[in-house]
Structure 1
Amino acid sequence: MDMKRAIITATAILALTAVSGAQEPPSATANFVNAAGEENGTAKLTGTEGGVLIEIEVTGLPASQWVGFHVHETGTCDPATGHESAGGHFNPTDAKHGYNVDGGPHAGDMPNQYVGADGTLRAQVFNGSVRLDEGDTNIRGKALMIHGGQDDYESQPSGDAGDRQACAVIE
């Protein structure tokens, strides 16, 4: 009976050790604010070995159109500056802007997203050029930006995507 109890105890200890050793993937959140400084959406970011999955829901955007969506270099969203405080696109490798340009895209470039008829943008976007909490491509502390028009994927330096409609600091 003592041997059976010892085996059960050892098995339980091994199982607990295995479970406690499992690591959660890095994650972050961001709260969007519009040009008036009002909160109008959220983002949840999950790090993977290959990049970052970004899930967003933002309201009050220009309805029924494509809009630019990027990671910007500075984690400051000041509505008084039209969110210009967030700087340019995140570009740790000094690449050119856009998917349609030799030497592009920036690490912060992402595909345009479609805003529904009710002015709400819901999307899941994967960016394989960035990471959470590691190296030069770490985007924690940077900003997510939604523009008022679509990115043309080639104009320098930022795609001619229009005014900055919503900004969120990645925390």
Structure 2
Amino acid sequence: MHKSMTPATILALTLIAAGCASSAGPGPGSGKQPSAQALLAPTQGSRAGGSVSFVQQDDALLVTARVSGLTQGLHGFHIHEKGDCSAPDASSAGGHYNPAATKHGNPQAGEHHAGDLPMLEADASGNATLSVKLRGLSLDDTGHNIVGRSLVVHAGADDYTSQPAGNSGPRVACGVIVR
């Protein structure tokens, strides 16, 4: 992400990309699986950014993330309840998406919020990638629909035990999930 890009410029580019995407989804017999994306923009004082794609595959959602501008190490990664990244610190995104009112936890082992995702691990250059299939999330009404919600990357690791959000620190990037 270029240093001279302001949050307003990034938001404008996100809206343009969202406008270019079809909101109707695949048509009957199209053979295409429903998909969505989030373009992550840095919060104030951060350089983190990237993109995340979501593809519905039967009862699972394939999540593929590419994020840069992070500090080396683990970073909390969550779907938040509101599709609003307008606040400088992304506090406008609200808390974790938790429609079943469960405890925060590891999405790959035990009880957790619908919005709890596996952590991102950034290398020495600040780049992180993730590809994971998650059950219970959807891009329509067959599960917990995440379209229109936000995706947030945090400054630190998620301990998967602190309630309600895993103590993963400030929000360093945010993007709205769009079809």
Superposed pair shares fold, TM > 0.5: yes
TM-score normalised by the chain length of structure 2: 0.76
Whether contact under 8 Å (1:59, 1:120) holds in the other structure is yes
Whether contact under 8 Å (1:97, 1:154) holds in the other structure is yes
Q: Percent identity?
A: 39
Which of structure 1's runs of 4+ aligned residues deviate more than 6 A?
Answer: none
Q: 2:160 aligns with which of 121, 131, 153?
A: 153
Q: 1:51 aligns with which of 45, 57, 60?
A: 60
Q: Tell me which residue corresponds to 1:76.
A: 84
Superposition map of 1:7-156 within 5 A: 21-36=29-44, 40-62=49-71, 64-80=72-88, 82-99=89-106, 104-135=111-142, 137-156=144-163
C-alpha distance after superposition, 1:108-153 (max 9, x if no partner): 1112120111111111122212111124600000111111111111
**Which structure 1 residue ranges, 5 or more long, are not aligned?**
1-19
Pair member with larger Rg: 1
State the alpha-carbon separation in 1 of the partners of residues 142 and 130 from structure 2: 26
Q: Secondary structure at the match of 1:85?
A: helix
Q: Secondary structure at the match of 1:33?
A: strand
Judging by fraction of residues, say which structure has more helix: 1
* Number of positions where the alignment pairs a residue of Structure 1 with one of Structure 2: 149
**Which structure 2 residue ranges, 5 or more long, are not aligned?**
1-27
Structure 1 residue 39: deviation in Å?
7.9
Question: Which one-letter code corresponds to 2:42 in the other structure?
Answer: N
- Compute the RMSD of aligned alpha carbons: 2.2
